[in-house]
């Protein structure tokens, strides 16, 4: 756990640091947001940020987003001033901790961050065997390819492998190759020098350097442009990278874990992915089965998510009824664990007197692919007069609503890549901006 404290925490920084260090955290400090951002852009990693409420929390959150740095932010302020706490949450902080720091509260926040990123809830023998394999190969130097459908928990598996490896004390750095536009992914991976291109006002350390001596997760690597794959292959083979605009190569010692929800053999045969890069990455393959193939995990996962979202929504007690369990265990879960999590979250919110029944879960039994029913004729009539583009747009937005905004899950249901979905949404946003309609 790497904790970055920004500001003086109203004079309580020493006490907060001591509590965090006693819980195994590595603590660093920045006096202001500019200093903190320079450190983060230059390779100083962090798993959690604690910031004084006297600083501009909204500015910090905005700058983190603009630099595509994903770190939870916790605000800290003197006493239990409700207005300060609400303002901090509205500004983008995930939690608020009153000062002077409470040992149990800070410990709970640190533990929650660790659990959120690393815990794999399971009970099914299939998943137990996968974890045994992952632990066995974790201490090797080999690159590992984690494959599985969207929502099965590939990133969690990567965290698990890192924690079980000899590099567990070093940084774990993740890059979502599907979420970052192609034009930016190269600079994200390899970094750049000041003045390398328009907008490069300062040097930026890339993810390879940030993960030096640790682990670099290349999430959904099958979405990476084939031209960039050649540069990635060289970096892995030569153990060195070139910053954009740099004058000499930089040595890096980074363990690579790659993930994909596609059949990589098909991607290679279709020319979408370099065969030599695939072989370089696929020294060991860890395949996570879909949730439907490990039914023993449904109950412990459901109980875990129920507790998580009951607490998050200040609901004292929830429980799943007999017909609720029947619905959960009869469903085929095309969206896997992510869909189960969304379903339980919805069930907690719609529960009556804490009872999560089948009505609260709102599941239609049977997989959508295996239980296709003929739509009423009026539905087809309702489409007449609309363009294909209009129908496609409506389908995409309705699917996103169904998935509570989760793009990966929506893309999986729609049968398109995350990159395609992102491009469609950008197109809609640009068109709406021109005509002043929906953003």
Q: What pLDDT, on the 0 to 100 scale, is given for residue 435?
A: 47
Distance CA 249, CA 272 (A): 28
Per-residue pLDDT tens over the stretch 91-116: 888 888 888 877 777 777 776 665 55
Per-residue pLDDT tens over the stretch 411-434: 877 878 777 887 888 888 777 655
**Number of domain units in the chain:** 4
Q: What pLDDT, on the 0 to 100 scale, is given for residue 368?
A: 43
Residues of the chain above pLDDT 90, percent:
48
Residue 163: C-alpha distances to residues 1, 2, 47 (Å): 11, 14, 14
DSSP collapsed to 3 states, the chain = CEEEEECCHHHCHHHHHHHHHHCCCEEEEECCHHHHHHHHHCCCCCCEEEEECCCCHHHHHHHHHHCCCCCCEEEEEECCCHHHHHHHHHCCCCEEEEECCCHHHHHHHHHHHHHHHHCCCCCCHHHHHHHHHHHHHHCCCCCEEEECCCCCCHHHHHHHHHHCCCCCCCCEEEEECCCCCHHHHHHHHHEECCCCCCCCCCCEECHHHHCCCCEEEEECHHHCCHHHHHHHHHHHHHCEECCECCCCCEECCCEEEEEECCCHHHHHHCCCCCHHHHHHHCCEEEECCCHHHCHHHHHHHHHHHHHHHHHHCCCCCCEECHHHHHHHHHCCCCCHHHHHHHHHHHHHHHCECCEECHHHHCCCCCCCCCCCCCCCHHHHHHHCCCCHHHHHHHHHHHHHHHCCCCHHHHHHHHCCCHHHHHHHHHHHHHHHHHHCCCC
Per-residue pLDDT tens over the stretch 352-410: 888 999 999 998 754 443 333 333 343 545 566 678 888 888 888 888 877 767 777 77
Does residue 107 sit within a domain? yes
Q: What pLDDT, on the 0 to 100 scale, is given for residue 157?
A: 95
Per-residue pLDDT tens over the stretch 162-214: 989 999 888 899 999 988 887 789 999 999 998 888 878 888 889 999 999 99
Q: Give me the count of residues in the chain.
A: 439
Per-residue pLDDT tens over the stretch 262-308: 999 999 999 999 999 999 999 999 999 999 999 999 999 999 999 88
Average pLDDT, the chain: 85
Task: Tell me the average pLDDT across 121-134.
Answer: 94
Task: Tell me the average pLDDT across 129-143.
Answer: 94
Q: What pLDDT, on the 0 to 100 scale, is given for residue 384?
A: 65
Q: Are residues 81 and 130 in the same domain?
A: no
CATH number at residue 408: 1.10.10.60
Q: Are residues 188 and 255 in the same domain?
A: yes
Q: Are residues 149 and 279 in the same domain?
A: yes
Does residue 225 sit within a domain? yes
Q: Are residues 97 and 49 in the same domain?
A: yes
Q: Are residues 227 and 192 in the same domain?
A: yes
Q: Are residues 281 and 353 in the same domain?
A: no
Q: What pLDDT, on the 0 to 100 scale, is given for residue 117?
A: 53
Task: Tell me the average pLDDT across 221-241.
Answer: 94
Q: Are residues 194 and 63 in the same domain?
A: no
Q: What pLDDT, on the 0 to 100 scale, is given for residue 438?
A: 35
Q: What pLDDT, on the 0 to 100 scale, is given for residue 196?
A: 86
Per-residue pLDDT tens over the stretch 12-63: 878 888 888 887 778 889 999 999 998 888 777 788 899 998 899 999 999 9
Domain span at 387? 377-435
Q: Are residues 209 and 266 in the same domain?
A: yes
Q: Is it the case that residue 258 has pLDDT exceeding 90?
A: yes
Q: Are residues 205 and 282 in the same domain?
A: yes
Query: pLDDT band for position 11 (50/70/90)?
Result: confident
Q: What pLDDT, on the 0 to 100 scale, is given for residue 408?
A: 73
CATH number at residue 85: 3.40.50.2300
């Amino acid at each position: 756990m790497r904790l970055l404290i920004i500001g003086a925490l109203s004079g309580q920084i020493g006490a907060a640091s001591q509590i965090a260090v006693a819980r195994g955290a590595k603590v660093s400090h920045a006096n202001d947001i500019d200093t903190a951002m320079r450190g983060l852009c230059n390779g100083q990693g962090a798993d959690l940020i604690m910031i004084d409420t006297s600083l501009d929390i909204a500015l910090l959150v905005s700058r983190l987003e603009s630099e595509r740095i994903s770190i939870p932010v916790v605000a800290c302020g003197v006493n239990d001033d409700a207005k300060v706490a609400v303002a901090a949450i509205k500004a983008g902080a995930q939690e608020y901790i009153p000062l002077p720091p409470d040992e149990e509260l800070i410990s709970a926040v640190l533990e929650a961050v660790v659990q959120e990123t690393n815990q794999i809830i399971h009970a099914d023998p299939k998943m137990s065997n996968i974890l045994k394999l992952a632990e066995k190969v974790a201490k090797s130097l080999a690159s590992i390819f984690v494959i599985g459908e969207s929502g099965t928990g590939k990133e969690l598996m990567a965290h698990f492998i890192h924690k079980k490896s000899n590099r567990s004390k070093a940084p774990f750095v993740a890059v979502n190759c599907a979420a970052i536009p192609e034009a930016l992914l190269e600079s994200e991976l390899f970094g750049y020098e000041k003045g390398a291109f328009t907008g490069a006002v300062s040097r930026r350390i890339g993810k390879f350097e940030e993960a030096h001596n640790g682990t670099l997760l290349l999430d959904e690597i099958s979405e990476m442009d084939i031209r960039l794959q050649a540069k990635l292959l060289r970096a892995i083979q030569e153990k060195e990278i070139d910053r954009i605009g740099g004058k000499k190569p930089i040595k890096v010692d980074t363990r690579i874990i790659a993930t994909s929800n596609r059949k990589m053999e098909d991607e290679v045969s279709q020319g979408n992915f370099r065969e030599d890069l695939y072989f370089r990455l696929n020294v060991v393959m860890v395949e996570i089965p879909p949730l439907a193939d490990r039914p023993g995990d449904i109950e412990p996962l459901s109980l875990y998510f129920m507790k998580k979202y009951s607490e998050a929504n200040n609901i004292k007690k929830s429980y799943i009824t007999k017909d609720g369990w029947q619905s959960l265990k009869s469903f085929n879960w095309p969206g896997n664990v992510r869909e189960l999590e969304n379903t339980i979250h919805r069930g907690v919110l719609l529960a009556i007197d804490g009872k999560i029944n089948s009505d609260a879960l709102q599941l239609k039994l049977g997989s959508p692919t295996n239980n296709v029913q003929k739509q009423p004729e009026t539905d087809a009539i309702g489409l007449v007069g609309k363009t294909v583009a209009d129908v496609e747009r409506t389908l995409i937005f309705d699917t996103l609503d169904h998935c509570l905004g989760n793009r990966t899950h929506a893309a999986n249901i729609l049968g398109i890549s995350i990159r395609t979905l992102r491009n469609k949404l950008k197109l809609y946003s640009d068109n709406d901006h021109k005509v002043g309609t929906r953003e």
